[in-house]
């Protein structure tokens, strides 16, 4: 079923409950924070949020306030997200690791939620936010334990394209099938990374890192091709097979490992999202040419056979249909 847009507001609550309500909302979205209305008589806050595959998309409006993720809560595992924040109204002041940014409408801020930081908004602000699990960025070449905060422009160029796509994805999220949501999420992540790469804050554009990122892009674009091979990749990128082997082995895998893991992940997501499809259809659509080989490597990678995932989703769909019919 498509994800619906959910809403939460602090309107009508007592000041103390407003702060607690907003603290709980932030905890559910991306981690524990301190919330301070800065001597204001109330904290008027509202969030509309939804998910597109593994991404969380939010539209947030908050009156005067300060939020802080402090050193005492600086475990990387507690906040494993990168946040892409588009300022659409008001002014905010961000501080992290000695870096200070003033944000006005049209600005975009990308930062690591796990690193201690504060955001102060002296008056009403509105943001559109994408919360991205770090694991999704690591699949695309992001390797640092912490990402330095980066301020970008969403007024033109790739930043504007990324913002428009985020806005459209939020509006259409409830109409997307689970399968289409996966494709939209992949496209959205790649678009969000474009301005970051241009700013040269996260990725090294020269040499090995750039070639590795290009190889990842090529593999994802041709993942359904059963003939995808290292020969095809090296020819497209203009490098030797030996060089490609070296790039991937430095990251603890072979090129073939990367391709099959990506295919298996997509197959599992599709089996979970499309219970009406047969296991063979799903496997063959993602480049496998043998059902027995697919089942064998699926079990080795996930610890369960694909039929178990498929059967579970079919039972769930049947129960949902029965409940709807009743």
For every one of its 326 residues, what pLDDT tens digit does the chain have, with 9 covering 90 and above? 456 889 999 999 999 999 999 999 999 998 889 999 999 999 999 999 999 999 999 999 999 999 999 865 555 566 889 999 999 999 999 999 888 999 999 999 999 999 999 999 999 999 999 999 988 877 776 655 677 888 989 998 888 999 999 999 999 998 888 888 888 998 888 888 777 766 554 444 446 767 887 888 889 888 999 899 999 998 888 888 888 998 888 888 899 999 998 999 889 888 888 878 899 999 999 999 888 999 999 999 889 998 888 676 554 544 443 444 44
Give domain status of residue 1, yes or no: no
Tokens representing residue 54 in the block = 């593994």
User: How many structural domains does the chain have?
Assistant: 2
In this predicted structure, what is the pLDDT of residue 7? 95
pTM of the entire predicted model: 0.68
Same domain, 185 and 235: no
Give domain status of residue 300, yes or no: yes
- Choose the final residue of a domain: 141, 166, 199: 199
Given a contact cutoff of 8 angstroms between Cβ atoms, the answer to whether 183 and 286 are in contact is no
Same domain, 171 and 41: yes
Same domain, 12 and 116: yes
Q: Is the dihedral of CA 217, 194, 50, 17 positive or negative?
A: positive
What is the C-alpha to C-alpha distance for residues 177 and 24, in angstroms, rounded to an integer? 29
User: Could you list the residue range(s) of the whole structural domain that residue 242 is in?
Assistant: 207-325
What is the C-alpha to C-alpha distance for residues 131 and 139, in angstroms, rounded to an integer? 16
Given a contact cutoff of 8 angstroms between Cβ atoms, the answer to whether 146 and 114 are in contact is yes
Same domain, 11 and 157: yes
- From residue 230, alpha-carbon distances to 41, 227, 248, 256 in Å are 63, 10, 11, 8
């Amino acid at each position: 079923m498509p994800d619906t847009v959910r809403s939460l507001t602090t309107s009508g609550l007592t000041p103390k409950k407003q702060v607690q309500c907003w603290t709980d909302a932030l905890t559910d979205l991306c981690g524990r924070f301190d919330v301070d209305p800065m001597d204001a008589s109330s904290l008027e806050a509202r969030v509309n949020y939804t998910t597109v595959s593994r991404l969380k998309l939010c539209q947030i409006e908050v009156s005067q306030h300060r939020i802080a993720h402090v050193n005492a809560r600086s475990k990387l595992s507690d906040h494993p997200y990168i946040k892409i924040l588009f300022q659409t109204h008001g002014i905010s002041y961000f501080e992290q690791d000695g870096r200070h940014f003033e944000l006005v409408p049209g600005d975009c801020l990308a930062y690591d939620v796990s690193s201690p930081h504060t955001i102060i908004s002296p008056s009403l602000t509105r943001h559109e936010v994408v919360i991205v699990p770090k694991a999704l960025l690591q699949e695309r070449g992001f390797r640092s334990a912490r990402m330095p905060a980066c301020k970008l422009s969403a007024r033109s160029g790739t930043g504007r394209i990324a913002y428009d796509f985020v806005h459209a994805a939020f509006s259409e999220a409830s109409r997307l099938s689970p399968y289409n949501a996966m494709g939209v999420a992949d496209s959205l992540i790649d678009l969000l990374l474009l301005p970051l790469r241009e700013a040269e804050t996260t990725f090294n554009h020269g040499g090995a890192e750039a070639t590795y990122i290009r190889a990842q892009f090529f593999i994802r674009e041709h993942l359904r091709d059963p003939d995808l091979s290292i020969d095809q990749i090296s020819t497209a990128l203009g490098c030797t097979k030996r060089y490609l082997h070296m790039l991937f082995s430095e990251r603890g895998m072979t090129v073939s490992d990367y391709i099959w893991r990506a295919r298996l992940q997509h197959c599992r997501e599709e089996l979970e999202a499309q219970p009406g499809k047969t296991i063979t259809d799903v496997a063959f659509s993602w480049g496998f040419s043998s059902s027995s080989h697919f089942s064998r490597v699926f079990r080795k990678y996930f610890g369960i056979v694909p039929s178990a995932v498929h059967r579970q989703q079919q039972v769930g769909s049947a129960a949902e249909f029965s409940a709807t019919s009743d």
